[in-house]
Amino acid sequence: MPYTRKMTPPRPRVALFVTCLVDLYRPSVGFAALKLLEEAGCEVIVPDSQTCCGQPAYNSGDRATATDLARAVVDAFYPYDYTVAPSGSCAGMIAHHFPALFADDPFYRGKAEALGAKTHELTSFLTDVLGLTSVTARYDGVATYHDSCSGLRELGVKAQPRALLGSVAGLAVREMAEPEICCGFGGTFCVKYPDISTRMVGDKTKDVAATGADTLLAGDLGCLLNMAGKLKREGSTVKVRHVAEVLAGVTGDVAPIGESR
């Protein structure tokens, strides 16, 4: 009888790009992402030299700073099988915009393109790459889901979070009339043009209210802080959370965004 050895396929080594907003403002989202990835069979590494993907500089026209920060991210994340971020905006920056930053630097452009090809937004990675179709979490409520612009238009994140939310026990999802319209965050836009930004997020919260949902979910913390801030100002009782918190079942550990225990 020939000798056979039982092999377990190696666990994919996933580098978690925490994102600067999650790092500073909402660590629970990072831990939720960690949990989801580990439960899906990944070995998760958190490279400790990460700061920011560079979007604030990139979108303010400071290409030199953006390129420096991109180079650091490329070096830190390049060695792993995948890079995953709980944000369509930061994942889109790495996947689509990094290569453009290195137009005149063939060495880094090559690395950036390779990194870009293995960089994913969290819910898209779980479903499209790992083939996950359900989670074990429970959340009692009715949620509505806001499609953040970069994730939606740069990475095609639309069905993935909804598919996973569909498996959460106790949860119903009720769509807004216009879930794909920008919430008015736009990075530095929200402080450079606060009047317009406030008007846009006001339109969004009206749409949220019209659904009658008790919870607002999205995949990007920037949009979530903006929408939560507006809902609080309006005295709304709608709870705002990152989708990863619900999918990982950690909502019991942390108050909704903008609220305290």
Partner 1 sequence: MVQVTSPAFKRNAAAALEDVSLQKALGKAKGAFLQRRAVAVAALPEFEALRDTGRDIKNHTLANLDFYLEYYAANVEKAGGQVHWCSSAADARAAVLEICRRAGAKTVTKGKSMISEEIGVNDHLEAHGIQPIETDLGEYIIQLRHEHPSHIIAPAFHLNREDWEAQFRLSHTDLPKDRVFNERRDILSEARTRLRQKFLAADVGITGANFLIAETGSSVIVTNEGNGDLTQTLPRVHIVLASIEKMVPTLEDATSLLRLLARSATGQDFSVYTTFSTGIRRQGDLDGPEEYHVVLIDNGRSNMMGTEFQEMLRCIRCAACMNHCPVYGAVGGHAYGWVYPGPMGSVLTPTLVGVDKAGHLPNASTFCGKCESVCPVKIPLPKLMRHWREREFERHLSPQGIRTNLALWAWFARRPAAYRLATRLGIGALSMLARGKGAFRRLPLAGGWTAGRDLPAPEPGGTFMARYKAQQKDKRR
Identified binder of partner 1 from the candidate list 11, 188, 206, 212, rule CB under 8 A: 188
Query: Does 154 engage in binding with partner 1 (CB under 8 A)?
Result: yes
How many beta carbons lie within 10 A of that of residue 27, not counting itself? 12
Q: Which of 38, 59, 166, 209 binds partner 1 (CB under 8 A)?
A: 59
The β-bridge partners of 97 are none
Q: Which of 79, 156, 194, 212 binds partner 1 (CB under 8 A)?
A: 194
| Helix locations, the chain, DSSP H | 20-25, 27-39, 55-58, 63-77, 88-92, 98-101, 106-117, 122-124, 149-155, 159-165, 189-192, 194-211, 221-233, 243-247
For the segment 124-153, give every residue that binds partner 1 (CB under 8 A).
Answer: 149-150, 153
Q: How many residues bind partner 1 (CB under 8 A)?
A: 71
Q: Rule CB under 8 A: is residue 199 a binding residue for partner 1?
A: yes
Q: Find the binder of partner 1 among 12, 54, 116, 249 (CB under 8 A).
A: 54
CB of 48 vs partner 1, minimal distance in Å: 7
Q: Which two tokens stand for residue 5?
A: 């050895």
Cα 58 from chain centroid?
19
In the three-class reduction of DSSP (H, G, I as helix; E, B as strand; rest coil), residue 83 is classed as strand
Write each residue from 14 to 33 as x if it is in contact with partner 1 (CB under 8 A), else as -, in one continuous string: ----x-x-xxxxxxx-xx--
- Out of 192, 206, 210, 212, name the contact with partner 1 by CB under 8 A: 192
Nearest distance, CB of residue 126 and partner 1, angstroms: 19
Q: How crowded is the C-beta side of 92, counted as CA atoms within 13 Å?
A: 17
* Spatial separation of the C-alpha atoms in residues 53 and 67, rounded to whole Å: 10
Q: Which stretch binds partner 1 (CB under 8 A): 1-9, 48-56, 108-116, 166-174?
A: 48-56
Does residue 99 belong to the site contacting partner 1 (CB under 8 A)? no
Determine if 104 is a binding residue for partner 1 (CB under 8 A): no
Sheet-wide strand order for 169-173 = 169-173, 138-146, 215-218, 239-242
The one-letter amino acid at 2: P
Cβ of residue 157: shortest distance to partner 1, in angstroms?
A: 13
Q: Which tokens belong to 191?
A: 């402080």
* Helix/strand/coil for 167: coil
Q: Interacting stretch for partner 1, rule CB under 8 A, among 112-120, 156-164, 208-216, 220-228?
A: 220-228
Query: In this chain, which stretch among 122-130, 137-145, 159-167, 226-234 interacts with partner 1, using CB under 8 A?
Result: 226-234
Q: How far is the CB of 124 from partner 1 (least distance, A)?
A: 17
Tokens at 52, concatenated: 């920011």
CB of 209 to partner 1, least distance (A): 15
Q: Is 38 in the site for partner 1 (CB under 8 A)?
A: no
As a whole number of angstroms, the distance between CA 111 and CA 117 comes to 10
